[in-house]
Structures are given as C-alpha cells and as structure tokens.
Structure 1
Amino acid sequence: MANDTASQRLHATVTGSVQGVGFRYWVRRQADQLDLMGTATNCDDGSVTVIAEGPTSSLDSLRDVLESGSTPGHVDGVDVRFAAATGKFSDFHEA
C-alpha cells in the first residue's frame, strides 16, 4: 500500500458479538465519513465481512476504528487483507 492516491481494497472479517448490535450501520457511517465505497455483510458464522475501496489512508483509518474497541457489540478479532480495488461499488451499503 505504497501510494495513497491509488484506490485499494480492504477485505476484513470481524469476529465477536457483531451481529444484531448496529455494527454494520456503524461501519457504513465510518466509511461514509472516510469517502469509502463498499459493503458490510453479516455472515452465517456470526462474523461480519467488510469490503471497502478507496485511498490507502482512508482504509487504514477504517481498519484502525474496526480494531479500536469502540465499536458496537464486542470485537474479538479483525482479519484484514489488502488488494487492488475493483471499482465494483458506487457507495457504501449494508447487505
């Protein structure tokens, strides 16, 4: 993630008590403030998948708040991977 102006993709799997507590809505608000595009989706195993695309600094900020301990519910872990952006999203939404 060397170039801050290049669009990148963050793929995070968030585990813990993160469903039914407003977590996806909270993630969307954070992403909107950072001008990120993507989605937050509940998974069958109780985790939430967050996919976001945008500048490196904004993705780093989103990762930091996901790991901050100040989220709705209780986060046990955040597994983050970065890749090239696909341009698939036109906004950030909850799925």
Structure 2
Amino acid sequence: MAELLGAAGARLLVPPALNQVLVHFDDDLTTDAVIAAVQEDRTCWVGGTRWHGNNAMRISVCDAATTTADIEASAAAIVRCWTTVKKG
C-alpha cells in the first residue's frame, strides 16, 4: 500500500511499520477531502489523524484475509479519490 501510494505522489509521513501506513496529500485540506472521499467511496476504510502538525490519512491493514488484489484495489480507490478532489 505504501509503495503504491508513494508511487502516485502521496507523501509517506513515516516508514510503513507492520500494518500501518500514514500519508499526506498536497495539504491539510486536500488530505481531509481525500479521507472523506475514500470513506464515501466505500472500497476501503481509512481514518484521519494528525502527525507532527499535519493532517494525515491513517491506513491499517488488519485482516489476514486481505489479498494483494485488495491492497491494489484500495490504493487505486484512494488515488482515484485524490485525483477527483484535485480536479475540484
């Protein structure tokens, strides 16, 4: 997930550890809008948090049944939502 989002241009705020990914999109308002768009899209669930003064998307992969295809579909949905938010 971290590699896919990083390749799309999202800023990884910390190196991914275990099942956690923390990313930032352009600015705080955009990050919040992407989180809301992903939650509305319902492909996956992400949450918001603050990290060192920045709003961030927190992604947790919590189920052993999660497949590579699930990660790819979720990353694609996040990038799609980000693209939609940037277009306004």
Query: Same-fold call, TM > 0.5?
Result: no
Structure with the bigger RCO (C-alpha within 8 Å, sep 6+) is: 1
When you count helix as a share of all residues, which structure comes out higher?
Answer: 2
When you count strand as a share of all residues, which structure comes out higher?
Answer: 1
Q: Shorter-chain-normalised TM-score: which range?
A: 0.3 to 0.5
Which TM-score applies when normalising by structure 2?
0.43
Which TM-score applies when normalising by structure 1?
0.41
